[in-house]
Structure 1
Amino acid sequence: MSANSRMTIAIHVLTWMSLDRQNNEVATSERIAGSVNTNAVVIRRCLGDLRKSGLVQSKRGAGAGWVLAREPEDITLLEVYLAVEGGGPFGMHHTPPNADCPVGFGIRPALQVVYSELEEEIRKGLART
């Protein structure tokens, strides 16, 4: 399995938009996609998540595009994480394991404790940046 890059893409997008902001420009998904080197659809999905969380705003009409909703230094990595990751860094089985198996019976409760502790530490670290 490969690592999820949604957070990295979101940070790239917001950083790029911050630079555009300094030049008084409105970012478009196509221009951002060129920097990320991905399809503009991926960027639009990311921007949608960031908009729902109040981190970016869309502008319509002449000069349409995307702008930061707040000053860049007021946005924490925790806010970005919550906007795009949602379910946390670790997931459980997509289907329940066999409850008749000694491993399958206990794996979820055991891992949930560990994952919850790790998630809390991740959130604390991201909130500081």
Structure 2
Amino acid sequence: MQITSKFTIAVHIITAIDYFKDTQKVTSKFLASSVGANPVIVRNVMCALKEADIIAISQGKSGITLAKPLDEITFFAIYKAVDAVSEEGLFHFHENPNANCPIGRNIHKGVDQKLNRVQQAMEEELKKITLSDVVQDTRKAIADENDSINKQ
């Protein structure tokens, strides 16, 4: 069970776009450097965010910008935009339970609904967290870091 790194890359991208919007032209190359990932991966994530109307990409002076306010971008929207989980869901069930075993024949009946409930609960929580929350906490961490450096 694992959500792909495309999710956290997308959160990083959006946070960087907001942070650098007034001081730097934000490009895919710049974002790839910030993320520390291959530019192709970053561009693929950016395309997904653009298709979901989370970011806007222009070749002109503005570069990459947010297409909506941070408080309207939820973790859930990002999770869906970047296909963070495969079609089968958050939990990948082992492929071949033994049909000759009573547990193997029936394990799906005992587990599937419970795993679906867990995934639904997680998705409901993702809907409550916005990028505004992330940006606020990240900016505070940067300010604390700067204060610590200035005190030295």
Q: Please give the range of the TM-score, normalised by the shorter of the 2 chains.
A: 0.7 to 0.9
Structure with the greater alpha carbon radius of gyration: 2
Equivalent position of 1:20 in the other structure: 20
Q: C-alpha distance in 2, partners of 1:2/1:113?
A: 19
> Compared with structure 1, are the counterparts of its residues 33 and 99 closer, same or farther at alpha carbon in structure 2 (3 Å cutoff)?
same
TM-score (ref. length: structure 2): 0.70
Secondary structure, aligned partner of 1:70: coil
Q: C-alpha distance in 2, partners of 1:14/1:102?
A: 49
| TM-aligned CA deviation for residue 36 of structure 1 | 1.0
> Compared with structure 1, are the counterparts of its residues 82 and 109 closer, same or farther at alpha carbon in structure 2 (3 Å cutoff)?
farther
Q: Which of the pair has the greater relative contact order for Cα pairs under 8 Å at 6+ separation? A: 2
Paired amino acid for 2:32: A
Q: C-alpha distance in 1, partners of 2:91/2:25?
A: 35
> Compared with structure 1, are the counterparts of its residues 91 and 2 closer, same or farther at alpha carbon in structure 2 (3 Å cutoff)?
closer
Equivalent position of 2:140 in the other structure: none
The within-5 A match list for 1:99-110 is 99-110=99-110
> Compared with structure 1, are the counterparts of its residues 25 and 72 closer, same or farther at alpha carbon in structure 2 (3 Å cutoff)?
farther
The question of whether the paired residues in 2 share the 8 Å contact of 1:28 and 1:64 is answered with no
Q: C-alpha distance in 1, partners of 2:38/2:62?
A: 19
The question of whether the paired residues in 1 share the 8 Å contact of 2:57 and 2:64 is answered with yes
Secondary structure, aligned partner of 2:56: strand
> Compared with structure 1, are the counterparts of its residues 104 and 64 closer, same or farther at alpha carbon in structure 2 (3 Å cutoff)?
farther
Q: C-alpha distance in 2, partners of 1:114/1:26?
A: 47
Aligned residues: 126
Segments of structure 2 that go 5 or more residues without pairing to the other structure are 130-152
Equivalent position of 1:89 in the other structure: 90
Percentage of matched positions with identical amino acids: 28
